[in-house]
């Protein structure tokens, strides 16, 4: 009987309309299930638990560029438990930093930033919100404005004069100088005086504050289990990362307390009413209630540390790479020196107006920033809500890493990108101030670096002087520029792996003051 029933059913003719009635609900349910899964950007294969962490390599900006060449300008990685979007094209950077800037304006939390910056009370790492807006406004208007940068001209002049004398003295004794070390020391002194009002030199001439700030840079790129696997954060205590962070924080905090106490026990503007450093400016704002939010002592110290760390290592790194590239390219070195010496003439001191006339030197600086951005992977952002870019769905709380170096090495945008060619910037309006997204060494949008004017002023003045007063050669009789090792050392900034040792040749007497 059952067999007969099946045979009868098989004899029923096919009805397309009836089939469609049953098929439509099925397709609707299938589509809903499929649409519930976000359309994420392409992702390389990952390993259970660690995800794509093993693919970062020793130089992450280069490893991520290689992956992006295969998987595209938007790439989705899983760094441990952290979903991460990697951006490697100017078009996608524009989407993030301009079109959807607010959605991408938050910062992901990290153990190092939490400990070192007083619980994210600085500007660089604080979450997007009213506090960040007010704190950044203070930095832009009061600390890092063009007027403020110009007011510190005397600091740059005094420290660069000391650098020139040091180079001359060291050369007369030893023949060659560690220019990398000297650039770090000079930049550290300039920043320390502008931010804290004085240098913190010990008997051996080294800066205690400078040493601590360099430890900050090292610790920031130290691997913290808790950042990628929150349930394993306890391991960071055993590895020594947490104790090191707390020790460094304690040293910095003690210096800040000392500086603030010194200012609070005397009138800020007694000696130099027109020469206020960052501490004095912030204390005046606090004292006169000239700000719209509470500026506690910890807020103030976090902002000061921001200014120091951002202003020191990036500037010295750019100067180091610029001089290395000039040594490798003697024709460019000659043209840059000829311009500097022609503009300055026989004056005993270079001034700001001279720098503004050095168009080719500015091209050399731009090309250095293109080929060697001091922070090739811009400080990560984090999405506030879900968003769609490039046709892909990006979930909320996704970490976003913009590979500025990969963007600035894109052969679709830059001709012969591997070569150092300052001439590419002649006659163009392309600049590094965050509006040209093919060239973003300082980032862009709301989270762009507010201190670029301060940093660029220091680099230009230091480089112009060492090109004006000295000719430069590599040590050794037969060593040519092309022999110079340009290997990179990874950190919060990417520096030369091998310090730059050069032989200076004094071309004229030092200025008399």
pLDDT in tens, 144-153: 888 888 999 9
Which whole number is the average pLDDT over 304-310? Answer: 87
pLDDT category at 93 given cuts 50, 70, 90 is very high
Q: What percent of the chain is modeled with pLDDT above 90?
A: 67
DSSP H helical segments within 437-509, as ranges? 452-469
Beta strands in 67-111 (DSSP E): 74-79, 82-87
> CB 491: neighbour CB atoms within 10 A?
16
The secondary element (H helix, E strand) that includes residue 501 is: strand 501-506
Q: What mean pLDDT comes out for the span 456-460?
A: 95
Class of domain 38-506: mainly alpha
Q: Is the pLDDT of residue 372 over 60?
A: yes
Query: What is the side-by-side strand order in the sheet with 82-87?
Result: 74-79, 82-87, 399-402, 381-382
Please say if the pLDDT value at position 399 is more than 80. yes
Strands 387-389 and 392-394: antiparallel
pLDDT value at residue 133 = 93
For residues 234 and 256, give the distance between their C-alpha atoms in angstroms, rounded to a whole number. 29
pLDDT value at 329 more than 70: yes
Q: Would the pLDDT of 11 be above 70? A: no
Higher pLDDT, 194 or 310: 194
Contact 68, 403 (CB under 8 A): yes
Q: Is the pLDDT of residue 173 over 90?
A: no
- pLDDT value at 267 more than 70: no
What distance in Å separates the CA atoms of residue 396 and residue 382, rounded to the nearest whole number?
A: 8
For the entire predicted model, the pTM comes to 0.89
Give dist(CA 241, CA 235) in Å, integer. Answer: 9
H helical segments located in 329-451: 330-344, 352-356, 359-371, 404-408
- Mean pLDDT computed over 205-223: 79
To the nearest whole percent, how much of the chain has pLDDT over 70? 88
Place 131 in a pLDDT band, splitting at 50, 70 and 90: very high
Higher pLDDT, 37 or 382: 382
Q: How far apart are CA 269 and CA 276, in angstroms?
A: 7
Lowest-confidence range among 75-89, 175-189, 393-407?
175-189
CA atoms of 85 and 40, how far apart (whole Å): 9
CB-count exposure of residue 352 (10 Å: 0-12, 13-18, 19+): middle
Average pLDDT, rounded, for the chain: 87
pLDDT classification of 20: cutoffs 50, 70, 90: very low
Maximal CA-CA distance, the chain: 118
Q: What is the reported pLDDT for 325?
A: 98
Q: Above 80 in pLDDT, residue 95? A: yes
Q: pLDDT band for 275, please (50, 70, 90 cuts).
A: low
- When pLDDT is averaged across residues 484-492 and rounded to a whole number, the result is 89
Question: Residue 265's pLDDT is what?
Answer: 81
Q: What is the rounded average pLDDT of the residues 312-339?
A: 95
Average pLDDT over residues 160-176: 88
Query: What pLDDT, on the 0 to 100 scale, is given for residue 172?
Result: 77
pLDDT grade, residue 31 (50/70/90)? very low
Confidence of residue 482 (pLDDT cuts 50, 70, 90): confident
Question: Looking at residue 33, what is its pLDDT?
Answer: 42
Cβ distance 177 to 504 under 8 Å?
A: yes
pLDDT band of 1, cuts 50, 70, 90: very low
Looking at residue 464, its pLDDT comes to 97
Whether 32 shows a pLDDT value over 70: the answer reads: no
What's the whole-number mean pLDDT along residues 287-302? 83
pLDDT at 35: 52
Q: Where are the domains of the chain?
A: 38-506
């Amino acid at each position: 009987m059952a067999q007969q029933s099946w045979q009868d059913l098989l004899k029923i003719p096919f009805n397309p309309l009836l089939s469609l009635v049953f098929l439509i609900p099925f397709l609707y349910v299938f589509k809903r299930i499929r649409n519930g899964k976000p359309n994420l950007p392409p992702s390389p294969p990952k390993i259970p638990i660690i995800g794509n962490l093993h693919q970062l390599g020793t130089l992450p900006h280069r490893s991520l560029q290689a992956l992006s060449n295969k998987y595209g300008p938007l790439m989705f990685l899983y760094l441990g438990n952290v979903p991460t979007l990697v951006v490697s094209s100017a078009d996608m950077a524009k989407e993030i930093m301009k079109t959807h800037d607010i959605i991408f304006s938050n910062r992901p939390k990290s153990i190092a930033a939490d400990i070192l910056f007083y619980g994210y009370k600085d500007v660089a790492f604080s979450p997007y919100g009213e506090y960040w807006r007010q704190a950044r406004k203070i930095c832009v208007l009061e600390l890092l404005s063009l007027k403020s940068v110009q007011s510190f001209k005397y600091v740059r002049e005094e420290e660069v004069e000391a650098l020139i004398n040091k180079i001359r003295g060291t050369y007369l004794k030893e023949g060659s100088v560690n220019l990398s070390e000297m650039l770090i020391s000079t930049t550290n002194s300039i920043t320390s005086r502008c931010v804290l009002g004085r240098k913190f030199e010990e008997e051996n001439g080294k800066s205690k504050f400078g040493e601590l700030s360099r430890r900050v840079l090292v610790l920031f790129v130290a691997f913290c289990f808790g950042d990628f696997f929150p349930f394993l954060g306890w391991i960071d205590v055993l590895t020594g990362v947490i104790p090191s962070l707390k020790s460094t924080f304690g040293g910095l905090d003690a210096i800040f307390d000392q500086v603030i106490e010194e200012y609070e026990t005397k009138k800020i503007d007694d000696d130099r009413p027109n020469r206020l450093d960052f501490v004095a400016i912030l204390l005046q704002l606090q004292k006169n209630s000239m700000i719209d939010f509470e500026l506690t002592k910890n807020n103030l110290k976090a902002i000061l540390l921001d200014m120091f760390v951002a202003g020191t290592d990036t500037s010295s790194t750019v100067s180091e790479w610029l001089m290395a590239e000039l040594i490798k390219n003697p024709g460019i070195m000659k043209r840059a020196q000829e311009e500097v010496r022609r503009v300055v003439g026989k004056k005993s001191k270079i001034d700001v107006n001279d720098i503004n006339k050095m168009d080719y030197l500015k091209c050399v600086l731009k090309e250095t920033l293109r080929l060697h951005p001091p922070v090739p992977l811009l400080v990560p952002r984090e999405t506030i809500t879900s968003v769609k870019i490039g046709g892909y769905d990006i979930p909320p709380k996704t970490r976003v890493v913009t590979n500025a170096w990969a963007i600035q090495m894109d052969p679709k945008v830059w001709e012969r990108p591997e070569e150092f060619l300052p001439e590419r910037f002649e006659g163009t309006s392309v600049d590094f101030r965050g509006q040209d997204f093919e060239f973003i060494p300082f980032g862009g949008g709301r989270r762009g670096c507010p201190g670029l004017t301060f940093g660029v002023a220091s680099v230009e003045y230091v480089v112009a002087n060492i090109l004006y007063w000295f000719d430069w050669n590599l040590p050794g009789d037969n060593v040519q520029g092309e022999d110079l090792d340009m290997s990179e050392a990874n950190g919060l900034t990417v520096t030369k792996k091998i310090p730059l040792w050069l032989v200076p040749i004094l071309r004229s007497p030092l200025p008399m003051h």
